[in-house]
Structure 1
Amino acid sequence: MKIEYPGDPDTPRSHLPFSPATRVGNLIFVSGQASVDATGKIVSDSFEGEVRRSIENLRKVLESAGSDLAHVVQTRNYVRDDSDVAEFNRIYTEYFQAPYPARTTLTRCLGGLLYEIDCIAVLKDTAD
């Protein structure tokens, strides 16, 4: 199978050595998305602000790869502080609806970030 690296100018990029997304067949693997601007510069914010910016960046990467949040099958979430998990769950349910994607959430991690998310999704036109 051919491996593709979708993206467009609006896709958030990192200065680190990884692609925002990799597509193989109808699967899309999205690298960790954090609270960064289009150039990859970290945008520090409240926990809620960082979660929302990270998920919006995830949305942009998915759309540039031919998918969207409704076609996410698994997420991995990284929350720096245990005390933010309840707020994270509240915000998460605004972006992902039941039945929810498979999910892993790690806490007590990350350095300068409060939150990060990565995912696996399927292409929109092949999921139905």
Structure 2
Amino acid sequence: MSISDGPLFPPAVRAGEFVYVSGQASVDETGAIVPGTFAEEMHRSIENVRRVLEAKGLTLSDVVKVNAYVHDPADLAEYNRLYPTYFPWPRPARTTITSCLTDAIKFELDVVAHPSRR
């Protein structure tokens, strides 16, 4: 595949019925980082995931696995407080890693979704 064949980093890839969403951070439609509070960046990141899933005919309710990346471990309490507002019971499997992002962003996540989750 050459760069002219499509985006270097596709927003999502379908494998059978599974949809793997690439990492989504607090960026706008052009890919420019939109800085904000932790809560604002988390919200924008998850809204970006929601848009990618909708393009594939899925919703956040179809998510079976979340990988979250939190820049500052001090934000974990806020992350845990906000998480259930986006992923209600039964929640997807989850992995959270801290201290792994650049100073440019506070939060990023990637997800795996499957339509049978509904």
Q: Same fold (TM over 0.5)?
A: yes
The number of residue pairs the alignment matches comes to: 111
Work out the percentage of aligned pairs sharing the same amino acid: 50
Equivalent residue, structure 2, for 1:118: 110
Equivalent residue, structure 1, for 2:87: 96
Pair 1:79 & 2:80 matched: no
> What secondary structure is seen at the aligned counterpart in 1 of 2:80?
helix
Question: Any unmatched runs of 5+ in structure 1?
Answer: 1-15
Aligned pairs (5 A) from 1:1-128: 17-111=8-102, 112-123=104-115, 126-127=116-117
What RMSD over aligned residues (CA atoms) do the two structures have, in Å? 1.3
Identify the structure with the greater helix proportion: 2
How far residue 127 of structure 1 moved from its aligned partner, in angstroms, is 4.5
Extract structure 1 runs of 4+ deviating beyond 6 A.
none
Counterpart Cα distance in 1 of 2:37 and 2:117? 35
> What secondary structure is seen at the aligned counterpart in 2 of 1:28?
strand
How far residue 17 of structure 1 moved from its aligned partner, in angstroms, is 2.4
- Greater RCO between the two (CA within 8 Å, min separation 6)? 2
Counterpart Cα distance in 2 of 1:72 and 1:48? 20
TM-score (norm 1): 0.83
